[in-house]
Chain A
Amino acid sequence: MKNVKTIRLFQQKISFLLDVQAMKKLLVISFLTLAVFFLSASFGDSFINPLKVLQTIFGQGSDFDRLIIIDFRMPRIFIAMFAGMALAVAGAVLQGIIKNPLASPDIIGISAGGGAAVVGFLAIFSDSNHSLTVSIEWMPLAGFIGATVVGFFVYLFAWKDGVTPNRLVLIGISVSALMQAITTMLMIIGPIYQASEANKWITGSVKSADWNQVQIVVPLILILLLVTFFITRQLNVQELGDDTAAGLGQSVQKTRLYLILLCCCLVASAISFAGAIGFVGLMAPHIARRIVGSSFGVLVPTSAAIGALLVMIADIIGRTAFSPLEVPAGVFTAAIGAPYFIYLLFRNPNK
């Protein structure tokens, strides 16, 4: 067996088979992601020299620079990075369950459910003066709850002696459409600022990020990613088909439930703070697959890194390209995502 390295520790209490080439590629991409992470602090209304950025992060640098970099830019870069990772991993997991490379978390209704909840939140907690009665800091929670509840219902509706990928997709799409309709309706009935606020969220933007949010998002997503790490071998088996998976001894439906739950939590975490950024869950796993292959052990971290890259870059573009106007990152993930989707059609004419 070439290109692989066996790792055995503690008298085989721990043993792994590593794909060396894939690991090398993963390392390179992770390095790239980290680089972009630091570099993005340079971009914005004003361009700040990357060297100065590093200095400021490590304690030196002027107060003004510190304000811009640490108070304004870093939180949103953090959120962009982690949201990107979460969405990408959710996409990878979902593609493993649905076995259709064109599946993405956006389609099973989770994002749309979050959107409806966000608008609902804005509608319910407004008084007659059209201002919010509770702090807007609770909005992410509403998004999270909406996303998970809708995800739960989609799963429930798709359940008929178990959940098949096709049913999940179909029902997800229609529930998604319903959520969007309800969102639109709420946006119409309510005052206009609500609609505007909601629309920004729906498009996906990290503009209103702050350190409080980062403190919640980062640990949450890290925990979820850790859970995903433990569950990867189950994913590899799920991808082989229900019969084969059962034949190999997996409790197919139970595992599927956990995986979908994981997916919902990942997406909900990402979108409650970053809005419904689309296409990341579709693109990142795909690109990752072309680079490192289909084994989830290495596919998941690679997708995460690429997802982080995509969102961070989209955010950079959004911040700088139309300065002083800020275009939500979601627009650019779509701008890159949709053509990429089409490109996929060219590559696989019979899919």
Chain B
Amino acid sequence: MILKNNYSKTFSLIVGVLLLLLCMGISIVYGYANTSIQTTYESFIHFNNSNEHIIIQNVRIPRALIASCVGASLAITGVLMQTLTKNPLASPGILGINAGAGFAVVFAMIFFHISGLQSFAWIAFLGAAIAALSVYAISFSGRDAVTPVKITLAGAAISALFASFTQGLLATNEAELEQVLFWLAGSVQGRKLEILLSVLPYLIIGWIAAIVISPKMNILALGDDVARGLGLRLGLMKILVGLIVIFLAGGAVAIAGPIGFIGIVVPHFARKFVGTDHRWLIPMAALLGGILLLLADVAARYIIMPQEVPVGVMTAMIGTPFFIYLARKGGKK
């Protein structure tokens, strides 16, 4: 790790917070409609119903807040999943969360004719939870305990299953495809503040819980046998982590749809800076996740202006080269 002692780590967290705020600012100010810092400031002080002010208040600020919260949540779940499954390339997606959410939304749309982002949110949450619980159930049954490999594989299976069903449903229902396509790609655009606020309590619970268990995560990282030997209640711990992941990743996908790669890549960066002590790692990852998603979102606005690329696609495009780099760096294996 680059930062070795507690002072530099604390300092870096502070820098992280400042960077996050800066990125939020950038996200608010820059975009298709021309605004400036001045205008932003004024929209708070002297709101005058002009187009710019409306855009800033109702579109940009919610978007920036959502991106920060979603990015942070995804990054935290990435850290938790990677430690839980001892797989440095794990992410919330592997618990089938994204796929389960997608399937639930499509299913609801087609069979219950539900539409609208707010409703999508709760259905997505439900789908994510069901997928994650099935994965856990599968891993817990069978002949022996929940091993990291089992979780990974069960997740891959559930993901693929839901993804196929989703595709199948869409293949036979063209109209719904149009409605849901954008959502399925993952985006922070077009969401109202209300959506964020309704899910926020769950996110906050998740964040606090993650920070509270971070010392225990350090022990979990040593391996099941060692952890048990040190007195950690392994089964309970794993269930707890699962719940936190459901809250955070489920909440994230509920708001923004499935967004990938943040959960995989951000923990690696965070680890580079502050090492593997989860008490520093989790906050750092949260900050970096928020920053990354904010920046990706800004980029998504500019790349094919005036159209917007869904941020989920953006993260895939940025994330893949990094992932390839990580995989190659893995050394002689």
Please indicate the chain B residues that have their CB under 8 angstroms from the CB of A339 in the complex.
157, 161
Please indicate the chain A residues that have their CB under 8 angstroms from the CB of B312 in the complex.
181, 184
9-residue interface stretch from B74-82, B228-236, B277-285, B320-328: B320-328
Contact B320 A345 (CB under 8 A): no
Contact B171 A345 (CB under 8 A): no
Q: Which residue on B lies nearest to A174, using beta carbons? A: B323
Contacts between chains A and B (CB distance < 8 A), count: 154
Contact B153 A187 (CB under 8 A): no
With beta carbons under 8 angstroms apart, the residue of A278, A325, A346, A350 that contacts B160 is A278
Q: Does B15 contact A (CB under 8 A)?
A: no
With beta carbons under 8 angstroms apart, the residue of A184, A278, A333 that contacts B184 is A184
Tally B residues with Cβ within 8 Å of A. Answer: 51
Nearest-neighbour CB distance to chain A for B250, whole angstroms, equals 20
Q: Which residue on A lies nearest to B182, using beta carbons? A: A188
Per the 8 Å Cβ criterion, residues 131-176 of A in contact with B are 157-158, 160, 164, 166-167, 170-171, 174-175
Contact B313 A182 (CB under 8 A): yes
- A319-345 vs B, CB cutoff 8 Å, 1 = contact: the mask equals 000000111101101110111011001
Q: Does B10 contact A (CB under 8 A)?
A: no
Is chain B's interface secondary structure helix, strand, loop, or mixed overall?
A: helix
Per the 8 Å Cβ criterion, residues 167-207 of A in contact with B are 167, 170-171, 174-175, 177-178, 180-182, 184-185, 187-189, 192-193, 195-196, 199-200, 202-203, 205
Q: Does B51 contact A (CB under 8 A)?
A: no
Contact A195 B168 (CB under 8 A): no
* Complex alpha-carbon distance, A102 and B154, angstroms: 12
Residue among A182, A203, A327 facing the most chain B CB atoms (10 A cut-off)? A203
* Complex alpha-carbon distance, A333 and B161, angstroms: 10
- B257-288 vs A, CB cutoff 8 Å, 1 = contact: the mask equals 00011000000000000000000000000000
Say yes or no: A185-B142 contact (C-beta < 8 A), given A331-B164, A345-B150. Answer: no
Q: Does A290 contact B (CB under 8 A)?
A: no
Say yes or no: A330-B184 contact (C-beta < 8 A), given A177-B316, A278-B160. Answer: no
* Complex alpha-carbon distance, A11 and B147, angstroms: 56
Q: Does B225 contact A (CB under 8 A)?
A: no
Contact A345 B181 (CB under 8 A): no
With beta carbons under 8 angstroms apart, the residue of B89, B160, B323, B333 that contacts A279 is B160
Residues of A with Cβ closer than 8 Å to B? 102, 157-158, 160, 164, 166-167, 170-171, 174-175, 177-178, 180-182, 184-185, 187-189, 192-193, 195-196, 199-200, 202-203, 205, 278-279, 325-328, 330-331, 333-335, 337-339, 341-342, 345-346, 349-351
User: 8 A–B contact pairs at CB < 8 A?
Assistant: A177-B260, A181-B185, A184-B310, A189-B304, A199-B177, A338-B160, A342-B157, A351-B149
The 4 closest A-B pairs by CB, nearest first: A334-B164, A181-B316, A331-B168, A338-B161
